[in-house]
Amino acid sequence: MAELDLIADIGGTHARFALTDPAAPAPRVLQAQTLRGADFPSLRHAAAHYLARVGAKPRRAAFALAAVVDADADAIFLTNRAWSFGRDALRRALGLDELRLLNDFGAIAWAVPELGPGDRVALHGDADAPLRAPVSVLGPGTGFGVALLVGSRERGWQAVETEGGHASFAPLDDEERRIARWIEARCGRVSTERLLSGAGLSHIDAALRGVPDGSDDGVREPAAIVGAALQGRDPHAERALARFCAVLGSVAGDIALIHGARTLMIAGGIVPRFVPFLRASAFRERFLAKGRFAAYMEAVAVHVITHPQPGLLGAAVALRRPAA
């Protein structure tokens, strides 16, 4: 049996692990399992737990992390979970000869060329058309990730990792200014991630319902807001989710302009749950509302990634590339 490699996608809420066969014709995700980060004191403990469950002893691994990954730094700190580690200490603790680390949305960018028609839903453009680069990859989950994919299948692809989710939020109307003031009073600086994330949806909903910014009473969980909005019986939830989609449209359009994108891929754990709602929202209107560049934006294909584990797939792709 071929020796399998370990791959992981570590976010603020979940730690996803799997194996991959480096000798297979194409990267595949094998024996995937999702663990709750809150159940483990460290990434090392979560990884060791997974390896014990599947009975594997890999020699190589690639971990996609919701963190800034500096190739010259040994210490890694996750952005939305109180986990930190030294890369060399983690490699030795897991008995690995090689450990590659990359940003989680950088991993999703690596996965994009491997996605099939069933792994994405077209919001605008032909889902079966050849992939046109540059490709902006972004999406809300526990945080808000942004990456860029450049190149081509013929010349080779290159993923560019960014921290674009932490750029400042730019409100466009009175309601968004009210939301921004509520978040500023509660959190300080208002970044895009403060709105376009699970907690961000809760912030939007609470601000619009008039919940005091210093109180947790009345702040609803994002899953409850999405569920209530989709049932169509809660106007407050519908209003919050509609505003979330509108802000996502504006931010996605800005990022596409900054990247010079010809394709936009929306990933993350939130948006695939309400694609029909997103289609009916102001997302498209706000995406196109770029003044003299509205015609440019019309030509950008927009897709939602529905592959269940794009971060793991991207880690498998990255592990096949020559070491830097």
Tell me the per-residue pLDDT of 21-37, one tens digit each, with 9 for 90 and over.
Answer: 999 999 999 999 999 99
Assigned domain for 129 exists: no
Distance, CA of 29 to CA of 314 (rounded, Å): 10
Tell me the per-residue pLDDT of 70-119, one tens digit each, with 9 for 90 and over.
Answer: 888 899 999 889 999 999 999 999 999 999 999 999 999 999 999 998 99
Report the number of distinct structural domains present in the chain.
2
What is the reported pLDDT for 214? 83
Number of neighbours of residue 144 by Cβ within 10 angstroms: 27
Tell me the per-residue pLDDT of 290-319, one tens digit each, with 9 for 90 and over.
Answer: 999 999 999 999 999 999 999 999 999 999
Distance, CA of 30 to CA of 312 (rounded, Å): 10
Confidence of residue 324 (pLDDT cuts 50, 70, 90): low
Shared-domain flag, residues 177 and 254:
yes
Tell me the per-residue pLDDT of 250-273, one tens digit each, with 9 for 90 and over.
Answer: 999 999 999 999 999 999 989 999
Assigned domain for 204 exists: yes
Shared-domain flag, residues 178 and 95:
no
pLDDT for 2 beyond 90: no
Assigned domain for 85 exists: yes
User: Helix, strand, or coil here: 122?
Assistant: strand
**Sign of the torsion angle spanned by Cα atoms 35, 163, 185, 218:** negative
For the record, the structure tokens of 277 come out as 């709602």
Shared-domain flag, residues 258 and 313:
no
What is the reported pLDDT for 106? 96
Shared-domain flag, residues 92 and 170:
no
Q: Specify the pTM.
A: 0.94
CATH of residue 178's domain is 3.40.367.20
What is the reported pLDDT for 128? 80
Average pLDDT over residues 16-21: 97
CATH of residue 90's domain is 3.30.420.40
What is the reported pLDDT for 204? 98
DSSP states of 180-194 as a string?
Answer: HHHHHHHHSS-BGGG
Distance, CA of 159 to CA of 167 (rounded, Å): 20
Share of the chain above pLDDT 90, in %: 89
Shared-domain flag, residues 263 and 316:
no
Tell me the per-residue pLDDT of 132-174, one tens digit each, with 9 for 90 and over.
Answer: 999 999 999 999 999 999 999 899 999 999 999 999 999 999 9
Cα 274 to chain centroid distance, Å, stands at 16
C-alpha dist (Å) from residue 300 to 47, 124, 125, 289: 39, 8, 8, 13
* Domain carrying residue 216: 165-305
Assigned domain for 151 exists: no
pLDDT for 1 beyond 50: no
Assigned domain for 127 exists: no
